[in-house]
Amino acid sequence: MSKKVLITGICGGLGMEMAKGFIKKGYQVIGVDIDDLALEGLEDKLGQEIPTFVCDLRNRGQIEQLCMEVVHKGVFPDIWINNAGVATIAPFMEQIDSFSDVMDINFNSILYTTHFCVGEMMKRNQGMIVNIASVAGHAPCPYFTSYNASKFAVVGFTRSLRHELKLKKIPIDVVLVSPGFVDTNIINQKSFEFPDFMKFMLSKPEVTGKEIVDGILKGKNEIFPTLNGKLLLGLGKVGAPVQDMMGHLMNAKNWKQMFGIEKIDPK
Ligand SMILES: NC(=O)c1ccc[n+]([C@@H]2O[C@H](COP(=O)([O-])OP(=O)(O)OC[C@H]3O[C@@H](n4cnc5c(N)ncnc54)[C@H](O)[C@@H]3O)[C@@H](O)[C@H]2O)c1
């Protein structure tokens, strides 16, 4: 029987590419997303029969329902990937109404699905939980308050849980994935578009998806996909001026603004 992998946010850029990668490796894929129409078209895109579940991962009741159905339908996976996510990019004073939504989908949903998965995987005495964070879970950036807060939470939570399970000798792998910028819908929104002059550094979703799948199957528990992500994290360690430059990255309109030679108009 083929191994199973469940992917939340499967209809998005990274979700779809990870699904393709796992299918190539012989896995049965199970898909979860809020986008019911996109879920309907999934089998045509992936060429495999895919059990799918519509779920708004901001809603704890819907998450509990999802978890029950996954077990009831006999498709509880060997690998559960918490990938769904959203980003609100705006000044902090304008984020207060959307802040809890971002925390709910990017962090709280991971908390509840992980709680459920650990219980199920302990019964089966095996399993793997993969949480998709971001370089924004390691490096702060202006206008990213909710996204930074949610992804820093994912990083701390994932690492803490991994240590706890290891200490208790519970055989569940807990994997943290921290990609840099990838050319998907999340960074091509109306309210926030990745700066044109920097687009050359974006990673392609198919390349990043493959990097993540390969890392997971090699048994890595920390995966840092994308060249731009590795660079940003490496540079961030150099010191405050470089961290400032990274902060400018998302808001600068040209190289001069990025290096602080020209003033950036505050939003
Ligand atoms: N693209 C990047 O630059 C980048 C970088 C680092 C980390 N990430 C992370 O990778 C993950 C995937 O992002 P992506 O780039 O594929 O973005 P995407 O926008 O293409 O996909 C996001 C998916 O999540 C789903 N989703 C959104 N809200 C949901 C909800 N409430 N319930 C259920 N599903 C919901 C969407 O329908 C979509 O299918 C996210 O966690 C994101 O934060 C992305």
Answer yes or no: is 211 within a domain. Answer: yes
Domain boundaries, position 161: 4-227
- Residue 29, in any domain of the structure: yes
Supply the residues annotated as catalytic.
147
Is residue 25 included in any domain, yes or no?
Answer: yes
pLDDT, tens digit (0-9, with 9 covering 90-100), for 170-224 = 999 999 999 999 999 998 877 666 777 888 889 999 999 999 999 999 999 999 9
| Tens digits of residue pLDDT in 69-103 | 999 999 999 999 999 999 988 889 999 999 999 99
Q: Is residue 45 part of a domain?
A: yes
Is there an atom of ligand 1 within 6 Å of 161 CB? Answer: no
Question: How many domains does the chain contain in total?
Answer: 1
Nearest CA to ligand 1 atom 38: 12
| CA 75 to ligand 1 center in whole angstroms | 23
Using H for helix, E for strand and C for coil, what is the string for the chain? CCCEEEEECCCCHHHHHHHHHHHHCCCEEEEEECCHHHHHCHHHHHCCCCCEEECCCCCHHHHHHHHHHHHHCCCCCCEEEECCCCCCCCCHHHCCCCHHHHHHHHHHHHHHHHHHHHHHHHHHCCCEEEEECCHHHCCCCCCCHHHHHHHHHHHHHHHHHHHHHHHCCCCCEEEEECCCCECCHHHECCCCECCHHHHHHCECHHHHHHHHHHHHHCCCCEECCCHHHHHHHHHHCCCHHHHHHHHHHCCCCCHHHHCCCCCCCCC
Does residue 243 lie in a domain region? Answer: no
Residue 143 has pLDDT above 70, yes or no: yes
* Residue 249 covered by a domain: no
Distance 160 CA to ligand 1 centre (A): 23
Does residue 2 line the site of ligand 1, with CB under 6 A? no
- CATH number at 72 reads 3.40.50.720
Name the pTM for this structure: 0.94
Residue 257 lies in a domain: no
Residue 212, domain member (yes or no)? yes
